[in-house]
């Protein structure tokens, strides 16, 4: 079955194709569809729903959408939904002109900002810190959109911690902040995991398991 994926990100297409091997995952640019909805939501779920409904209104076929990002506890959840646009403490929601900050710069900013917050002497924001003061998590809200009155959502996390310096970044797999995201139980960064290992424990992988069950029950009968 063909399922449209509401993204222009080829890395996400690759991951979702691995997570849904029995289906053909198609992104808008594969069919020459112009797709760049304004993500005006304040949560991962809201942005995921915006993207899903926007693409469904074009193709009127099953659509998958996800919104994901990294949330750093010491920064009160920054960069969160702005992870892909994040441009440091002066531009936590991205630059006004929409310019994409290179990932290497985003990585440097997030480590520097975290280190500054932890060295300031200010108490950490209220909450639990399962992996210490450098605790962080990836969050993914995934929507299966079959129409305005028929949609399903799953939201999952992958818990870990940021490394202390960019020099400690490791691994060549994954994308985004993965080389900085350390998984204490595995003693590896997310970028050091094989595709299979990452899909088994990642925020997107766990959300996809839930959505795949729904796809099987509703669309594969």
Choose, from 30, 36, 67, 90, the residue flagged as catalytic.
67
Assess whether 97 carries a catalytic annotation.
no
Helices (H) and strands (E) in the chain, counts: 5, 7
Is 176 within any annotated ligand binding site? yes
CB 110 within 8 A of CB 86: yes
CB 63 within 8 A of CB 3: yes
Is 175 within any annotated ligand binding site? yes
Provide the Cα torsion 131, 135, 140, 141; round to 10°: 100
Is 23 within any annotated ligand binding site? no
Is 131 within any annotated ligand binding site? no
Is 60 within any annotated ligand binding site? no
CB 110 within 8 A of CB 138: no
Is 36 within any annotated ligand binding site? no
Is 47 within any annotated ligand binding site? no
CB 138 within 8 A of CB 203: yes
Q: Show which residues are catalytic.
A: 67
- Known binding residues are 7-12, 38, 67-68, 175-178, 198, 203-204
- Known binding residues for substrate are 7-12, 68, 175-178, 198, 203-204
- Known binding residues for Mg(2+) are 38, 67
């Amino acid at each position: 079955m063909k399922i449209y994926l509401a993204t222009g990100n080829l890395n996400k297409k690759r991951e979702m194709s691995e997570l849904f091997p029995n289906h053909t995952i198609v992104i808008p640019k594969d069919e020459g569809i112009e797709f760049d909805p304004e993500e005006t939501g304040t949560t991962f779920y809201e942005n995921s729903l915006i993207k899903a409904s926007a693409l469904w209104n074009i193709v009127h076929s099953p659509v998958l959408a996800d919104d994901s990002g990294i949330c750093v506890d010491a920064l009160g959840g920054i960069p969160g939904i702005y992870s892909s646009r994040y441009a440091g403490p002066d531009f936590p929601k991205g630059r006004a002109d929409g310019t994409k900050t290179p990932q290497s710069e985003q990585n440097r900013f997030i480590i520097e900002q975290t280190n500054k917050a932890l060295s300031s002497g200010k108490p950490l924001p209220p909450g639990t810190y399962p992996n210490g003061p450098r605790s962080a998590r990836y969050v993914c809200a995934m929507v299966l959109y079959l129409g305005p009155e028929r949609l399903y959502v799953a939201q999952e996390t992958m818990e870990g911690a940021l490394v202390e310096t960019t020099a400690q970044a490791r691994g060549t797999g994954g994308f985004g902040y993965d080389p900085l995201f350390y998984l204490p139980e595995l003693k590896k960064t997310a970028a050091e995991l094989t595709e299979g290992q990452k899909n088994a424990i990642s925020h997107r992988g766990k959300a996809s398991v839930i959505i795949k069950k729904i796809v099987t029950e509703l669309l594969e009968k």
